[in-house]
Structure 1
Amino acid sequence: MQVFDKIISDRGSRYAVSGGAARNRDEVAAFIAELKRNKRFAKATHNSWAAILNGEPVKDDDGESGAGALMLQMLERAGLQDHVVVVTRWYGGKHLGGDRFRHVADAMRHYLRETGLGD
């Protein structure tokens, strides 16, 4: 499990990105459970995730509507399979509008760049 915390801050909202190997939904569930063992992540407003498992795209927006689809698109472009990526957001009290999608994309780019898994 790789975790990059406090990578983006905007109008009080804070973002982190995490990821690791996952070959099936059970492994994704175990990854999310492990991440949430950290109380900080358990108390997050959103833990949106995406993965391509055996060629099947799966995602969960966790209330951050549209985040999973964007994350899947980026995973497909990077050709990353059997790996789950989680973008975590702690809501800061102000709506971010479309900027929240930019932050999700930036978090994904950060993860792919820092792990060397992108392109």
Structure 2
Amino acid sequence: YKKLDNGKYCYFEKFFDKAQDKWRQVTVTLNSKSRVAQAEAKNRLALKIEEKLRQGSFKEVPSVQKVFGEWRKIRDEELKASSVHTETWAFRKFLDNFGRRKISEIKGNEIQQFILGLN
């Protein structure tokens, strides 16, 4: 726990969210640091963690190909057919490299290296 400027105490706990593949943190603020308050904080934190994990389990992280397909439908309405063909062709190499991967798996430095390697 950590004492806040307003005199309250912030209790926190970290947990690993497998759905998002990263560490997350939940917090609870109480007025006291007594043993009773600590036990209450522990219970509330456990409930919050359970809720976060339950919410995360329903979210499916889409693949790059799926997001591209959804974006392509919208973009096709904005462009002429020849421009659509040219733009789709330009994305082909990117989709070959990243299309089957989930959006959350791709890091910025991978995209940067891909762009730098296009020359």
TM-score relative to the length of structure 1:
0.30
More strand as a share of residues: 1
Larger Rg: 2
Q: Which has the bigger relative contact order, CA under 8 A and spacing at least 6?
A: 1
**TM-score with structure 2 setting the length:** 0.30
